[in-house]
Structure 1
């Protein structure tokens, strides 16, 4: 019986089809796709041993070693895990690296165990990855971006999240795009970031929206880099400027970098340990820019930060953070912003407060 293959990759991603990745964990960790679960045919050590056997003795010897390693209990356990996945996601599909032997074996074992002809991805992970990379190139030629700019703390992400025709690059990269932008959990790999971005671009092109709203970003968001073709397109696109008061920016910054960030750490590490880890994150983030601040300003701001941390710990009140955040915005971020915006002034097509900008972009 010829088991089915899937080659319509666009529909696969538009429909959020659940994917069963049967590659080894080390391959999965390097890069995968959203809505994907890793239930490998071969564990890392098994794959390594089979690879050595293949190089030394050829394909048949490698296949025989594979049978020896996973026959019996390992096969039963892995088939049971796949059976559970198929039951939970009957509309899904599976893949290995190139759509070859590993996915065919997995597909056959699933069929033997369940009677379900579960489809495999034609060409596997490599074909999906190449498709998404090509979609980034195509998308960047077809999209019509409008770039949302504004000073640090202005609330650009707040506006983006209210718009259906936007892509939150910082959300995809899992970084707030500043010296204090790190989250409690790591950023995705560069490959995962590019894959997520490509899928969002496919979604935008499939929608009825003419314009795509993106936040004004540098070439990198944290340690993840925008595809050069996208950055070039963004750098030549019209700018809409979000202009809000310093008080609003301080409020937004406290909400994002203190209240929400602290909640994130405490949700992961518990109340007491989470508070300590958040305090270390805030302290380390300020220290990273100490050379740019200069010794005197850094000490002054760090003293204010530590004082605010103690008040927050003792009373739960975050207002004391306004002091050092105000100085950070005006002394550190605003001079850099003024320099950058002077170079982009010819691209500005609109400027307004949050309500005005939101209405304009709609």
Structure 2
């Protein structure tokens, strides 16, 4: 029979499936990439038992728990857990601290002839382990930062680099005011947990880790300060692409590729995308100034209309070029001037890609 475990590194390095028996509200605040939530207690039951514990102690809370565990409730829980066990015979279960809820779940499963191990220390111990690893690996791993103006193709380089940490991929956001991908962003704790697990996996082999230059916020996800500090101190590579090339790449990624992911509830994809783009433009209205915002908003309306009527995205290109010149490039140039070191290499996207394939390979070795 498999034993309970406290080998947290093994769980995360091997993507071991985890049965999370905490309440749904706890799971939504933070969990792990390979975890599924099948609660022992629903949110209301958890609240009732917590109140009973505070007023009358642990045994009273346990007694209340068994009163709430009607036959129908127990059978529903067992059905969910049994299904998980069948799908993931090598997994483990956990609650918040690896205590009463985990052991109650084990007891109920055991009565059905199912022996399933738990994670000692539960969610809290695993979360503390990942926070410690995030601190450790952020200071230890040899990062190389890929820098460049918006639309330079930095994300493409990260995705093809092999040993890389894809922060935008983890955050499900492209980082700018227009960076919404159509997918819900993870909770902050989930974002941090995934970064830590990816760093832990990267640390199993030597070599440089490539990472895209990012500001503190990627959408609603905040970079952990320890990682942000490591990125500021790391050597860097600069991608320099012509303005029109960058604008066309942005239109491809933000418009052409976005349309299939945005339409819902009977609204056409083009119309939904147009609304999303106008909302994003509104976020930088104050920095553009009232008159310039009105001009760009009118230009955006024309581009949205062309997309809806003919499917053409060409009208977005001059609009994006204007936004890059008048807003994004100035911000990025200001940050670049604050760098104290010269880049390891600078060149076009094709040149940097070739450098990564040659010199970059020696950095990864």
Q: Which residue of 2 aligns with 1:164?
A: 162
Equivalent residue in structure 2 for 1:236, among 227, 233, 238: 233
Pairwise CA distance, 1:271: 6.6
Q: How does 1:137-286 map to 2 (within 5 A)?
A: 137-208=135-206, 210-266=207-263, 269=264, 272-286=267-281
Pairwise CA distance, 1:255: 1.1
Alignment partners' CA distance in 2, 1:240 and 1:62: 58
TM-score w.r.t. the length of structure 2 is 0.94
Alignment partners' CA distance in 1, 2:269 and 2:55: 51
Pairwise CA distance, 1:273: 4.3
Pairwise CA distance, 1:142: 1.2
Alignment partners' CA distance in 2, 1:51 and 1:231: 38
- Provide Cα deviations, 1:122-142, integer angstroms capped at 9, x if missing partner: 100000000000001110121
Contact 2:270 2:304 in 1 (8 A): no
Which region of structure 1 is more displaced relative to structure 2, 82-91 or 182-191?
Answer: 182-191
Pairwise CA distance, 1:187: 1.6
Contact 2:278 2:297 in 1 (8 A): yes
- Provide Cα deviations, 1:262-284, integer angstroms capped at 9, x if missing partner: 22213xx1673443332211001
- Provide Cα deviations, 1:97-142, integer angstroms capped at 9, x if missing partner: 00001011112222222x3321100100000000000001110121
Equivalent residue in structure 2 for 1:127, among 111, 125, 132: 125
Alignment partners' CA distance in 2, 1:79 and 1:274: 42
Q: How does 1:44-63 map to 2 (within 5 A)?
A: 44-63=43-62
Q: Which residue of 2 aligns with 1:65?
A: 64
Contact 2:237 2:346 in 1 (8 A): yes
Pairwise CA distance, 1:3: 7.5
Alignment partners' CA distance in 1, 2:218 and 2:267: 30
Pairwise CA distance, 1:77: 0.9
Q: How does 1:72-83 map to 2 (within 5 A)?
A: 72-83=71-82
Q: Which residue of 2 aligns with 1:13?
A: 12
Alignment partners' CA distance in 1, 2:234 and 2:217: 18
Which region of structure 1 is more displaced relative to structure 2, 155-164 or 222-231?
Answer: 222-231
Alignment partners' CA distance in 1, 2:286 and 2:318: 20
Give the 3 Å change call, closer, same or farther, for CA 259–345 of structure 1 in structure 2: farther
Alignment partners' CA distance in 2, 1:241 and 1:61: 63
Pairwise CA distance, 1:360: 2.0
Alignment partners' CA distance in 1, 2:260 and 2:242: 26
- Provide Cα deviations, 1:45-88, integer angstroms capped at 9, x if missing partner: 00111111111111111111100101311001101110001001
Alignment partners' CA distance in 2, 1:271 and 1:169: 32
Equivalent residue in structure 1 for 2:285, among 284, 290, 295: 290
Q: Which residue of 1 aligns with 2:298?
A: 303
Aligned length: 357
1:335 aligns with 2:334: no
Alignment partners' CA distance in 2, 1:116 and 1:150: 55
RMSD across aligned positions (CA) = 1.5
Q: Which residue of 2 aligns with 1:26?
A: 25
Pairwise CA distance, 1:295: 1.7
Contact 1:160 1:167 in 2 (8 A): yes
Pairwise CA distance, 1:351: 0.5
Contact 1:262 1:278 in 2 (8 A): yes
SS of match in other structure, 2:258? helix
Pairwise CA distance, 1:224: 1.6
Contact 2:271 2:308 in 1 (8 A): no
Contact 1:3 1:107 in 2 (8 A): no
Alignment partners' CA distance in 1, 2:193 and 2:55: 35
TM-score w.r.t. the length of structure 1 is 0.95
Extract unaligned runs of 5+ from structure 2. none
Pairwise CA distance, 1:331: 1.0
Pairwise CA distance, 1:182: 2.0
Pairwise CA distance, 1:169: 0.7
